[in-house]
Amino acid sequence: MQLSKKAGNITPSITLAITAKANELKSQGVDVVSFGAGEPDFNTPENIIQAAIKAMYDGKTKYTPAGGLLELKTTICSKFKKDNNLDYKPNQIIISTGAKQCLANVFMATLNPGDEVLIPVPYWVSYPELVKLADGVPVFVETLKENNYKYTVADLEKALTSKTKALLLNSPNNPTGTIYHEEELLEIASFAKEHDLLIISDEIYEKLIYDGEKHISIAALNEDAYERTIVINGVSKTYAMTGWRLGYAAASESITKLMTSIQSHMTSNVNTIAQYAAIEALNGPIEDLNNMIKEFENRRNFMIYKLEKLNEISIIKPNGAFYIMVNISSYLNTTFKDQTINNSVDFAKVLLEEEKVAVIPGAGFGLDDYIRLSYATSMDIIETGIDRISTFLSKIK
């Protein structure tokens, strides 16, 4: 039987094999050090957990409107005003099952078959697949190392065609941790205006920024950018709430209406209890958040210090999120114990087998001469893991 061609065209996550192998080794009692985490290692703050418990005891256990509780939408509007100087009304907000579902909704609500979406390389793994699921075509925008892999208008122009419908922006970026500054955003916004493109701005790492950097939402630059931007955000990374599955998007009323209509048939509302928890997250005290950011910054600094001591390794210095991309090109096209190491997947596989360190191969993000290390893990693990990587490098070259 011919199953769905569209589903068959979806690339399974390249990171899955490494993660599965690392988990298998761990379950056998092997001391595996993992740099794979895509989520904070902190627990959700106590006040948020208490709000969820209270919601359940108060009987808030029923359906809500498909696009989310009005009270949460209003809270999100206040957040946009306070943090991003953006004015939205509740009917421009949709609450979805993670930022991931917001993105899926956006592509389904805006793309027609064959419409192209510009996606910068390196990219978060799900963007191209979500575009394909919505019958769109992902078009990769090659970026330059000297620009810290941020795209410029010149890069965008090379990928532009008459079918381009939207461009994707992710700042702070996963996997590089780089941040787009105001002058760069202004150029991107005027490019989008000139070619009448939608801007899909994934700002999920907005709060996780360091070195006194400032996050600017492209939607806040001017009226035109506001009209053509769909802002994606959520509570997963900021409030250590990845498992609660709650993201939100802000867009024009017409796009929000379409997204809500799609979601009403796909999943209905986000878990009601998680919605009450999110109200507390967005309105409650921010000490836990500030402590987490401080800790991430310390770990990032320590990881950079350790990585810079490694031979023939360079990094993309991150100002945000909790990842560091490490260039391993000097160690590719080598052989170790009869195994060839020609790309990031080989490197990650042999590193795991030999030194029991799990890293994410850059191939999954479109940068095959890099590996991604997450510092959402303890200082001890950072110390041990990078020492093991150092041992590995000296063995293979």
* Cβ closest to ligand PLP, residue 241 vs residue 348: 241
- Residue (of 352, 299, 304) closest to 325 by Cα position: 304
Burial 333-366 (b: 16+ CB within 10 A, else e): eeebeeeebebbbbbbbbbbebbbbbbbbbbbbb
Q: Is 170 in the site for ligand PLP (CB under 6 A)?
A: yes
Q: Is 242 in the site for ligand PLP (CB under 6 A)?
A: yes
Q: Is 177 in the site for ligand PLP (CB under 6 A)?
A: no
Residue nearest to ligand PLP (CB): 98
* Cβ closest to ligand PLP, residue 246 vs residue 396: 246
Separation of alpha carbons 355 and 339, rounded Å: 15
Q: Which of 35, 88, 107, 124 binds ligand PLP (CB under 6 A)?
A: 124
Q: Is 88 in the site for ligand PLP (CB under 6 A)?
A: no
* Cβ closest to ligand PLP, residue 15 vs residue 236: 236
Which residue stretch of 43-51, 95-103, 305-313, 386-394 sits at the interface with ligand PLP (rule: CB under 6 A)? 95-103
Q: Which of 68, 247, 361, 366 binds ligand PLP (CB under 6 A)?
A: 247
Q: In the chain, how long is the greatest CA-to-CA distance?
A: 63
Q: Which of 98, 128, 284, 361 binds ligand PLP (CB under 6 A)?
A: 98
Rounded to 5 degrees, φ, ψ at 274 are -65, -30
* Cβ closest to ligand PLP, residue 258 vs residue 270: 270
Q: Is 150 in the site for ligand PLP (CB under 6 A)?
A: no
Rounded to 5 degrees, φ, ψ at 33 are -100, 125
- Residue (of 298, 316, 279) closest to 376 by Cα position: 298
Q: Which of 36, 38, 67, 284 binds ligand PLP (CB under 6 A)?
A: 38
Pairing of strands 334-336, 339-341: antiparallel
DSSP-derived 3-state class of residue 327: strand
Q: Is 374 in the site for ligand PLP (CB under 6 A)?
A: no
Least distance to ligand PLP, CB of residue 93, Å: 15
Q: Is 100 in the site for ligand PLP (CB under 6 A)?
A: yes
Separation of alpha carbons 295 and 301, rounded Å: 10
Which distant-in-sequence residues (6+ apart) come within 8 Å of 397 by Cβ? 311, 312, 330, 331, 334
Which residue stretch of 97-105, 159-167, 309-317, 381-389 sits at the interface with ligand PLP (rule: CB under 6 A)? 97-105
The residue type at 378: S
Which residue stretch of 179-187, 206-214, 234-242, 263-271 sits at the interface with ligand PLP (rule: CB under 6 A)? 234-242
Q: Which of 174, 263, 272, 319 binds ligand PLP (CB under 6 A)?
A: 174
Rounded to 5 degrees, φ, ψ at 141 are -100, 115
Q: Is 236 in the site for ligand PLP (CB under 6 A)?
A: yes
**Rounded CA Rg of the chain:** 21
* Cβ closest to ligand PLP, residue 266 vs residue 310: 266
What is the DSSP-derived secondary structure letter of residue 209? Answer: B
* Cβ closest to ligand PLP, residue 98 vs residue 385: 98
Q: Which of 45, 67, 128, 234 binds ligand PLP (CB under 6 A)?
A: 234
Separation of alpha carbons 80 and 75, rounded Å: 9
Q: Is 244 in the site for ligand PLP (CB under 6 A)?
A: no
By CB under 6 A, the residues from 350 to 369 that bind ligand PLP are: none
Separation of alpha carbons 371 and 329, rounded Å: 10
Contact map string, positions 297 to 336, toward ligand PLP, x by CB under 6 A: ----------------------------------------
Which distant-in-sequence residues (6+ apart) come within 8 Å of 243 by Cβ? none
3-state helix, strand, coil in the chain (%, to 5): 45, 15, 35
Q: Dig out the tokens for 364 from the structure.
A: 């999954």
Q: Is 204 in the site for ligand PLP (CB under 6 A)?
A: yes
How many residues belong to the site for ligand PLP (CB under 6 A)? Answer: 13
Handedness of CA 297, 298, 302, 305 (dihedral sign): positive
Q: Which residues of this chain interact with ligand PLP, rule CB under 6 A?
A: 38, 98-100, 124, 170, 174, 202, 204, 234, 236, 242, 247
